[in-house]
Amino acid sequence: MEVIDRQQALLSNYEVFLVLSEEDERQKDVKTKRRVRYPENVTTLMFEGLQYLNDTACTTQSAEQIKDLKEALAEYELTKGEILQIINIRPTQPVELSFIIEECGDRFEVADLEEMCEIVCEKLPRADEGDETEGVDGEGEQDQEENGADEDSEMHD
């Protein structure tokens, strides 16, 4: 077997998540008469892949957002692989783009990278951004850790 065009096989995390979710629902549906029985290792891969992707930002993406992002980034002449990584990683800082884009320093100015980051933030807003601030206002994990530290110090006294 020969791979004719490697670029045609690229899937974003969002697309993989959709396929795995649909197959998971199909397997759970007891009414389905033509239920496919997968080998155990394939079932494990599907389960673990879906579990991993559920904890990523791809669960908040939509096909429309990805299409809009691709159109907005078209002027930068990025490769399909670079666009795919931008979709999956959602860089917010120019330094993140420098790891994604090949020969980034030769191809783009810092202003271009900042514009790309703004486009990514605008077209692929992250639903999990608000979670990072939890704890700063005294209601999140930081308080729990401090309370745990206070309890530990009291136990040692």
- The mean pLDDT values, 10 residues at a time, for the chain of 157 residues are 60 91 80 68 88 89 93 94 94 94 94 95 74 40 46 48
Would you mind telling me the total number of residues written for the chain in this entry? 157
* CB 66, CB 117: distance < 8 Å: no
Both structure tokens of 125: 């807003």
Both structure tokens of 55: 């904890």
pLDDT of 1: 47
* CB 55, CB 127: distance < 8 Å: no
pLDDT of 106: 94
pLDDT of 5: 60
Task: Record the pTM.
Answer: 0.69
Q: What secondary structure does DSSP assign to 42-103, as a single string?
A: HHHHHHHHHHHHHTSGGGG--HHHHHHHHHHHGGG---HHHHHHHHHH---SHHHHHHHSTT
Angle at 79 between CA 75 and CA 84, to 5 degrees: 100
7 in helix, strand or coil? Answer: helix
Closest to 86 measured CA to CA, from 66, 104, 106: 66
**H/E run at residue 105:** helix 104-107
* CB 91, CB 84: distance < 8 Å: no
Both structure tokens of 15: 């697309």
48 in helix, strand or coil? Answer: helix
Lookup result for tokens 């496919």: 36
